[in-house]
């Protein structure tokens, strides 16, 4: 990230003004209190390590740090880094968790094409049509019994799933999960909601597992491991279904940089920025991954421009 002379802390949101361009807080975009907590927090350690590297590179080049004055702080380009390949898994996960906790109040703007996500009537109409198509696809699936939704977020798909069976919603971030609770209440539906990481080992076997826009947040080198977790959730013959992202330049917010190296820089309405894993899979790659991790009859298709839909069954126990 570029140096910022004044910023809202990426972790706690507290405003902070730096004393000078060498202040580590400005490179990390963390307030002094959160810098002091870095020893106990994976995300804060990750930000400090990255900040030290960026500050050292700026000193070595003997060029003024980006954003060191009020005039250029907002004009500095953001260059995505390959977090999927270069960042330890615990730090990637910590930054993802911090991002989704902070993004919860505005997450549904992405679905609804509001604010920075509005991309004009033609693109937004195509988005709405494909989002409806994905919902109809999910509604038509023969899912029933006990259902687990991993990385449920704000619960966009949860009312549909809760109408099909006994639903348990899990997410590692509590803020979006509270919004999912409100969505279910508004629909007059019941479900079990718990803060739980998508990577946690299953505590039982169920009839179906669903993930919405989560496989794209799993690094390529961990995809087989995550599909193994899903497989262990399922009874023999159980269903795994997912909806996820295709790459399209009109999919994200208008002010988001172009993704690169399986990473995306995401900016919130308040200006805070996070670098997260975002992998845009091809259907054939997911077909192969599912077949190789204990699933049978995988079927991964697209809605056109924006979304992937996928379905497979857990192979019978041998």
Residue 7 confidence (pLDDT): 75
CB-based contacts of 128, cutoff 8 Å, min separation 6:
113
How do residues 15-25 score in pLDDT, each as one tens digit?
Answer: 888 887 878 88
pLDDT of residue 259: 85
Weakest mean pLDDT among 59-63, 98-102, 274-278, 309-313: 59-63
- Predicted confidence at residue 90, as pLDDT, reads 65
The string of pLDDT tens digits covering residues 125-153 is: 999 999 999 999 999 999 999 999 999 99
Task: Name all domains of the chain by residue range, CATH numbers in brackets.
Answer: 6-77 (no CATH), 105-314 (3.40.50.150)
89 confidence band (pLDDT: 50, 70, 90):
low
- Report pLDDT for 65: 42
Q: What is the band of 39 on the pLDDT scale with cuts at 50, 70, 90?
A: low
In whole angstroms, give the CA distance from residue 215 to residue 72: 36
pLDDT band, very low/low/confident/very high, at 164 (cuts 50, 70, 90) = very high
Which range is least confidently modeled, 39-53, 164-178, 260-274?
A: 39-53
Please give the mean pLDDT across all residues of the chain: 86
Q: What is the pTM of this model?
A: 0.74
Res 74: pLDDT: 33
Judge whether 208 and 148 are in contact, CB under 8 Å. yes
Give the lowest-confidence range in 87-96, 189-198, 283-292: 87-96
Residue 95 predicted with pLDDT over 80? yes
Check residue 20 and give its pLDDT. Answer: 79
pLDDT at position 37: 78
Q: What is the DSSP string of the chain?
A: ----SEEE-TTT--EEE-SSTT-HHHHHT--HHHHHTGGG-HHHHHHHHHHHHHHHHHHHHT-PPTT-STTTTTT-------HHHHS-HHHHHHHHHHHHHHHGGGTHHHHHT-GGG---HHHHHHHHHHHHHHHHHHHHS---EEEEEES-TT-SSHHHHHTTEEEEEEES-HHHHHHHHHHHHHTT---EEEE--TTSPPSS-EEEEEEES-GGGS-GGGHHHHHHHHHHHEEEEEEEEEEEEPP-TTSS-TTSPPPBTTEEEEE-TTS-EEEEE-----HHHHHHHHHTTTEEEEEEEE-SSSEEEEEEEEPPP-
């Amino acid at each position: 990230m570029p140096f910022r002379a004044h910023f809202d802390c990426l972790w706690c949101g507290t405003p902070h003004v730096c004393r000078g361009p060498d202040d580590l807080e400005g490179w990390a975009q963390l307030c002094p209190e959160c810098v002091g907590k870095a020893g106990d927090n994976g995300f804060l350690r990750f930000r400090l390590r990255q900040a030290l590297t960026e500050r050292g590179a700026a000193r070595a080049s003997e060029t003024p740090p980006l954003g060191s004055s009020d005039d250029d702080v907002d004009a500095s380009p953001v260059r995505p880094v390959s977090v999927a390949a270069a960042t330890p898994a615990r730090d990637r996960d910590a930054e993802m968790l911090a991002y989704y906790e902070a993004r919860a109040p505005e997450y549904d703007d992405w679905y609804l094409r509001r604010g920075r996500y509005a991309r004009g009537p033609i693109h937004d109409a195509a988005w709405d049509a494909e989002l409806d198509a994905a919902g109809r696809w999910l509604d038509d699936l023969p899912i029933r019994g006990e259902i687990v939704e991993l990385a449920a977020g704000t619960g966009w798909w949860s009312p549909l799933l809760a109408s099909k069976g006994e639903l348990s919603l899990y997410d590692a971030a509590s803020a979006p999960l509270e919004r999912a609770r409100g969505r279910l209440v508004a629909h007059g539906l019941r479900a079990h909601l718990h803060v739980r990481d998508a990577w946690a080992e299953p505590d039982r076997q169920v009839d179906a597992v669903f993930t919405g826009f989560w496989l794209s947040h799993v690094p390529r080198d961990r995809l087989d491991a995550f599909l193994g977790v899903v497989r262990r959730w399922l009874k023999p013959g159980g269903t795994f279904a997912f909806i996820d992202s295709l790459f399209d330049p009109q999919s994200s917010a208008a002010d988001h940089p172009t993704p690169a190296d399986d990473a995306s820089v995401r900016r919130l309405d308040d200006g805070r920025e996070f670098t997260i894993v975002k992998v845009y899979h091809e259907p054939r790659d997911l077909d192969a991954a599912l077949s190789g991790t204990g699933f049978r009859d995988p079927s991964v298709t697209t809605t056109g421009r924006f979304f992937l839909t996928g379905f497979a069954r857990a192979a019978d126990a041998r």
